[in-house]
Amino acid sequence: MSEDLHRYVCQQCKQPLRIDPELVDLPPSAYGIIEGSVSQPNSPASRNVAGPKSAKSATMSKAQAKQPVDSSGPGESFVLLRDSVIHSTPKQRSSPQQSPRRLPNEGKTTSSPRSPPAPLPETQSKVSLSHQIRSHTQLFNFLSSRTEIDHPLCAECTHVLLTSLTRQLEEMKKERDGYLAFEKEIRKEKERESDADNAKIDSRIRELKSQEHGLVNELKQLDSDRLSLEKELQALELEEKLLEEEEDQFWQRHNNHLLKSTAQAAEIESLRRAYAVDSMTLEKLERTNVYNDAFCIGLDGVFGTINGLRLGRAGNVTVEWAEINAAWGQTLLLLYTIARKLDYEFENYRLVPLGSFSRIERIAGDKAIYELYGSGDLHIGRILHNRRFDYAMIAFLECLREIMDYVKSMDAQVEFRHTIIKDRIGDASIKLQFAQDEAWTRALRHVLLALKIVLKWVTNAG
């Protein structure tokens, strides 16, 4: 029954095996003999026979052992246990329903079957079977670890393996004989070396020693040169460090100079832009006619106006003398400004602009003073005052004529609409006494027109 419960398979052909009875109980001395006769393989990885890594994989379960085995082919070969071993090995008592099984090729064995021994107790049978499995496993593991072939093997696979190993042994012997012959030839060549060769070798040795001495001297010289070069290198490194510091200082100064130059360039550019703006402003101001802004001459109905002040009187429109006097002050100031602009000095008169109380002084003859302002008071002195007012207006007209003549002498293309002859400008007299207001107002309007023409020429010429 133990044979059916635990079987081994060949690790080469995978067929079931029966263990030889001599391998059932091996004494420890037998393992020592096997260990001495089997050498340790060089490398387990170099095995050329595939199989399980240990003998445990060589066993089959009861179910695997019961499977039918094909009787055709090499799988039919196996090792049969001897009857004596079978009878001496205790087996487990089988049940009445079970009978001992035989392998298909069991009849090929040379030993005759014997009747089974008396059954032993179940506990003793289990112990014997466990002992056999451990003993076989130990033996197969030992053989697998010391050889390049996994164990166990069947008889035919063992025969094939022995044939292969024998062939390898013969090849190794031939290779050994070749090495021995080569070694013998080498020894003969060494014995054939003559003394002349030894002399050549000695000469070569002396030559090499001489070369060695020369090379040693050259090496010493090179070491000396190396030390000199190292000192020179240290000096150059120090010089390089100084140059780097000097270069850093140079670049620092250069950067500072660039910063200062950039700041100066920005300042110059700012000044140029400011100059351009100021030049444009100056040009604009130069083109601006300040005289037209300071002395705005225009018309208000029948009245000529200067800076919004009416100059003249009309029957149906009442103009206060304060406004007329202020207008005369602005008119005298305009004539005075034009004379100064032209750097012109009048021959007989000097203008004194004092606003509403302006006057004209005579600088030749009796050196009289004429007030260029009127009054609406009704008293006896009014007649005398109006006479001086008329003289002042005639003197103003004379000064205006001189300016007009001067302008014509400077520019013949300048044309005036009205000419001045004594107290008349155009067809109207500038005298107020014994004259109509409309005629006097028209004469004053002609005066302002003449001043406007002169002012325009002065500003354009300037």
Q: Is residue 81, in this structure, part of any structural domain at all? A: yes
- Other CB atoms within 10 A of residue 92 CB: 18
For position 349, what pLDDT does the model report? 94
Of 153, 180, 199, the last residue of a domain is: 153
For position 173, what pLDDT does the model report? 94
Q: Is residue 418, in this structure, part of any structural domain at all? A: yes
The mean predicted confidence, pLDDT, of the chain is 78
Of 290 and 413, the one with more pLDDT: 413
Q: How far apart are CA 177 and CA 301, in angstroms?
A: 155
Of 135, 153, 171, the last residue of a domain is: 153
Q: How far apart are CA 430 and CA 441, in angstroms?
A: 8
For position 353, what pLDDT does the model report? 94
- The structure's pTM equals 0.42
Q: Is residue 336, in this structure, part of any structural domain at all? A: yes
Summarize pLDDT for 14-65 with one digit per residue, the tens: 888 887 777 766 676 776 677 676 655 544 444 443 444 444 444 444 334 3
Q: What is the number of residues in the chain?
A: 462
Q: How far apart are CA 302 and CA 441, in angstroms?
A: 8
Of 119, 153, 187, the last residue of a domain is: 153
Summarize pLDDT for 365-397 with one digit per residue, the tens: 888 999 999 876 655 555 666 788 999 999 999
- Is residue 11 very low, low, confident or very high in pLDDT (cuts 50, 70, 90)? confident
**Given a cut of 50, is residue 108 above it in pLDDT?**
no
Q: Is residue 104, in this structure, part of any structural domain at all? A: yes
Domain count, the chain: 2
For position 41, what pLDDT does the model report? 52
Contact 320, 326 (CB under 8 A): no
- Beta bridge partners, 7, equal 60
For position 141, what pLDDT does the model report? 83
Of 357 and 197, the one with more pLDDT: 357
Q: How many CA atoms lie within 13 A of 170 on its CB side?
A: 5
Domain that holds residue 315: 290-461
Of 47 and 166, the one with more pLDDT: 166
Q: Is residue 190, in this structure, part of any structural domain at all? A: no
Q: Is residue 69, in this structure, part of any structural domain at all? A: yes
Burial category of 429 from C-beta neighbours within 10 Å (exposed 0-12, middle 13-18, buried 19 and up): buried
| Mean pLDDT on 153-158 | 88
Helix axes 321-341, 437-461, angle to 10 degrees: 30
Q: How far apart are CA 328 and CA 127, in angstroms?
A: 159
Summarize pLDDT for 267-307 with one digit per residue, the tens: 999 999 999 999 999 888 777 777 888 889 999 988 999 99
CATH number where 331 lies: 1.10.418.40
For position 25, what pLDDT does the model report? 66
Q: Is residue 443, in this structure, part of any structural domain at all? A: yes
| Mean pLDDT on 322-341 | 95
- Is residue 110 very low, low, confident or very high in pLDDT (cuts 50, 70, 90)? very low
For position 33, what pLDDT does the model report? 75
Q: Is residue 122, in this structure, part of any structural domain at all? A: yes
